Amino acid sequence: MRNIFIVLKHEFLTTIRKPSFWVTTLLLPGMIILMNVGTQVMSREAFTNENQLVPGTDLSAQTQTQTTAAHSPVIGYVDEAGILTQLPPSLPPGLLQEYASETAATAAINAREIDEYYLIPANFLQKRDVLLVSREFSPFNVGTQEFFNYVIAYGLTGDEAEAAVYINPTFSIYPRNLAPQEARPSSGSDNPLTFFVPFAVMFIFFFLITMSSGFMLQSVTREKENRTAEVLLVSLRPRELMLGKVLGLSGVALLQMGIWFGGGMMALERVQQMMEMFSSFTLPAGFVIWGICFFVLGYLLYASLMGAVGALAPNAREGGQFTFVILLPLMIPLWLNFVFIQSPNGMLATTLSLIPFTAPVAMMTRMAATTVPIWQIIVSLGGLALTTYLFVLLAARFFRADTLLSNVSLHWKRLFTELRRA
């Protein structure tokens, strides 16, 4: 027991004294979440703005959103065909500005009074072409084009409803689920936190488990490379070395979790206090307790796998080649993050949350996104606990003097051979 405590203390103090540990602990999560969430929010807003260009009943709100997206408070136009004798009544005042000639509209652009203008030529009814003149070249910007099509359609028909049908003659389908997913009533879909919090929880648990379990691989391979393992095995058994490392690095992992998770909960509470629109979002009862359980078991599972690879690999480079395969199950929820946010109680999200290798990330993301039946949480945690126990026992069989002192190259054939031997 004394030997285990010595190894435990050494691993914990050595790791937390590294500047790189504090850099990744304090700076990395915020940068990663900001980059990933920011890009998804921007893409979602771009998609929403594009859809809002289609005319509907609330034209004022749509045109306000549209003009914001187009970065121009005023849209100019030159009507040589005399089509726009009247504008839609619901149009916000000052949104469209008519110019008598193309020369006047171009002068307005040069004076930065407008960013763009539309030219309806005199032969519009024959050729049906409209020219858009913009200050800057932007080939991918649809801007106000669809909206202006609606304005022209209204000028031709004189009726807003007919103009909307002219622009979009297809019918709309409104789905209704007879067995709606159970969601927390206090976490409405209009609350931005229903998107942000599950996404943040997913990234926090993924990086916590991968980084903390990676410390195990680094520690074992480092001691094999500098021949420290030869000295250690003189005074303690291989199993004591593994147990001390796992427990010592588990303390590091819990420290990281406390900083990341605690900081996240404090930030969430602060945001809800500052903005009333976020106050309706709540996490389920016992979320922190469940989070600790899933994280500890997830760490032990992947740390034991990393330790087994580290015991076989002669150096960190060869051991790192197998890291992707080991951590592949944890990456699956990240690749399918939209499934957990859009349909957290769907078949795919539920299945991934019950599989032990994906459960630590998948189940906690589901719990942050919706109300998960308690039996699913218990089954998932129980399966994870059993799998972790079996793999810790299996990994312990790789910690032998012949593997820790061996410099034989690690490849798939040797890995399967050692696996059968274990």
Q: How far apart are CA 140 and CA 143, in angstroms?
A: 9
Provide the mean pLDDT of the chain.
76
pLDDT at res. 360:
92
Top-confidence range, 159-163, 281-285, 313-317: 159-163
Same domain, 129 and 268: no
CB-count exposure of residue 367 (10 Å: 0-12, 13-18, 19+):
buried
In a domain, 173, yes or no: no
Whether 352 and 297 share a structural domain = yes
Strand order of the β-sheet with 96-98 is 96-98, 75-79, 116-120, 131-134
DSSP three-state, residue 178: coil
217 lies in the same domain as 304: yes
Considering the entire predicted model, what is its pTM? 0.60
- With both helix axes pointing from N to C terminus, report the angle between 28-51 and 19-26 in degrees, rounded to the nearest 10: 20
Do 195 and 244 share a structural domain? yes
Q: Quick check: is 174 in a domain?
A: no
pLDDT value at residue 63: 42
Q: Is the pLDDT of residue 60 over 50?
A: no
| Structural domain harbouring 103 | 52-166
β-sheet bridge partners, residue 118: 77, 132
Domain final position from 132, 166, 200: 166
Residue 83 belongs to a domain: yes
Overall average pLDDT of the 151-159 stretch: 85
Q: What is the pLDDT of residues 42-51, one digit of tens each?
A: 555 544 444 4
Assess whether 282 and 364 both reside in one domain: yes
**68 and 32 in a common domain:** no
- The conformation of residue 175, written as its DSSP 8-state character, comes to -
Same domain, 155 and 253: no
Domain finish residue from 166, 200, 216: 166
Which of the listed residues 138, 166, 194 is the one where a domain comes to its end?
166
151 occurs within a structural domain: yes
Query: What SS3 state is found at 207?
Result: helix
What was the pLDDT predicted at 355? 93
| Integer Cα distance of 201 and 283 in angstroms | 11
Regarding whether 60 and 36 lie in a shared domain, the answer is no
For residues 384 and 294, the answer to whether their CB atoms sit within 8 Å is yes
Q: Alpha-carbon distance 374 to 273, whole Å?
A: 29
Between strands 116-120 and 131-134, the pairing is antiparallel
Same domain, 303 and 354: yes
- Going by pLDDT thresholds of 50, 70 and 90, the confidence category of residue 139 is low
Q: Are 108 and 96 in contact (CB under 8 A)?
A: no
Please check whether residues 276 and 369 belong to one and the same domain.
Answer: yes
125 with 222, same domain: the answer is: no
In a domain, 147, yes or no: yes
Question: Averaged over 9-37, what is the pLDDT?
Answer: 71
pLDDT-wise least confident of 67-81, 245-259, 285-299, 404-418: 67-81
- pLDDT value for 67: 40
How many domains does the chain contain in total?
A: 2
Percentage of the chain exceeding pLDDT 70:
75
Q: What span, in angstroms and rounded, lies between the C-alpha atoms of 223 and 213?
A: 16
| CATH number of domain containing 77 | 3.40.190
In 3D space, the residue among 55, 51, 52 whose CA is nearest the CA of residue 149 turns out to be 55
Sign of CA dihedral 261, 264, 268, 274: positive
Integer CA distances (angstroms), 218 to 63, 210, 306, 347, in order = 56, 12, 9, 37
Residues 417 and 380 in one domain: yes
Q: Angle at which helices 359-369 and 347-354 pack, to 10 degrees?
A: 130
pLDDT value of residue 152: 87
Q: Is residue 75 part of a domain?
A: yes
Does 319 or 368 have the greater pLDDT score? 368
**Residue 203 reports pLDDT greater than 60:** yes
Residues 6 or more apart in contact with residue 408 via CB below 8 angstroms: 314, 414
pLDDT, residue 232, reads: 65
> What does the pLDDT read at residue 260?
76
Q: Does a structural domain hold residue 334? A: yes
- Count of CB atoms within 10 A of residue 205's CB? 26
Q: In this structure, is residue 175 part of a structural domain?
A: no
